[in-house]
Amino acid sequence: MHSSRNGRHVGRVVGLWRYPVKSMGAEVLAQVDVSWHGFAGDRRWAFIRDGVAQSGFPWLTLRERGDMSHYRPSFVEPARPDKSATVVRTPSGSTFDVADPTLGAELCPSGVRVIRQDRGIFDTFPLSLITTQTIVQLGEMVGARLDVERFRPNILVETTDEAPFPEDSWVGSVLCIGGARMRVDKRDGRCIVITIDPVTTERNPEILRAVARDRQGCLGVYGSTVEPGRVAVNDPVLIESPA
């Protein structure tokens, strides 16, 4: 493959996640097809709060409902997520079609509607990546062990060296990850969502304060697809050499 000839090995994939419904729980993946619109099935659905559709950020998210990640979406036909029906298991164990009004009423009694977008409903770019080193480093800064799901990435990379926040230096480069290629477009500007523990839903404001104070508000990186392909856990990650 051309990438192995022109790339420098910088790490390996140690985690993959997609989020079929924006702000709901993650699906842990062993492998995934990466399209021009990100991971197949990623963030194809979102809930819009009534009365705020014209705002810059109309979505119902973890900001408003800290336990939203306890709602677990999945696909009826996992092999074809972009063509399959999507169901959601609630924290009480009930399962609803994502478009069932009963689910919307449970999530937000004041009113929501659900939308689907085949291109995905992303805040910025369709791919997000973070390294294990970055999560450990931030944990040391705030004196806590931090769960990767707090940061809601698509791709978790373990790098070959221990340099702090290594993905910052990848901005502007192209990564070869398994059978796909991803351009690293920008650092990931963070919000209050990273303060929310994905298990307990307790909030720790110091995490966002540390990122704002010491990291210019950014942690991890965003990217877009240069070449679609399949990515799997343990795939090598290479950074392309300049042409």
Read off the pLDDT of residues 73-92 as tens digits, 9 standing for 90 and up. 999 987 788 888 999 999 99
Integer CA distances (angstroms), 12 to 32, 168, 189, in order: 15, 17, 24
Average pLDDT, the chain: 93
Residue 3 binned pLDDT confidence (cut-offs 50, 70, 90): very low
Give me the pLDDT at residue 57, please.
76
* Domains of the chain, first to last: 2-240 (2.40.33.20)
Give me the pLDDT at residue 15, please.
98
Give me the pLDDT at residue 1, please.
37
Residue 243 binned pLDDT confidence (cut-offs 50, 70, 90): low
Encode pLDDT of 103-120 as tens digits: 999 999 989 999 999 899
**Claim: this prediction has a pTM higher than 0.75:** yes
- Cα–Cα distance measured from residue 98 to residue 88, given in angstroms and rounded to the nearest whole number: 6
Give me the pLDDT at residue 4, please.
44
Give me the pLDDT at residue 154, please.
98
- Cα–Cα distance measured from residue 127 to residue 164, given in angstroms and rounded to the nearest whole number: 21
- Cα–Cα distance measured from residue 41 to residue 34, given in angstroms and rounded to the nearest whole number: 10
Encode pLDDT of 19-57 as tens digits: 999 999 999 999 999 999 999 999 999 999 987 766 667
What is the phi/psi pair of residue 123, to 5°? Answer: -70, -35
What percent of the chain has a predicted confidence (pLDDT) above 70? 95
Tokens for 116, please give them: 């689907």
Contact call for residues 11 and 150 (beta carbons, < 8 A): no
Transcribe the chain into DSSP letters.
Answer: -HHHHHEEEEEEEEEEEE-SBTTSPPEEESEEEEETTEETTTT-EEEEETT-TTSS--B--TTT-TTGGGSEEEESSTT-TTTS-EEEE-TTS-EEETT-HHHHHHH-TT-EEEEE-TT---SS-SEEEEEHHHHHHHHHHHTS---GGGG--SEEEEESS--SSGGGGGTT-EEEETTEEEEEEEEEE--GGGGB-TTT--B-HHHHHHHHHHSTTEEEEEEEEEE-EEEETT-EEEEEPP-
Give me the pLDDT at residue 54, please.
65
Give me the pLDDT at residue 79, please.
78
What percent of the chain has a predicted confidence (pLDDT) above 90? 84
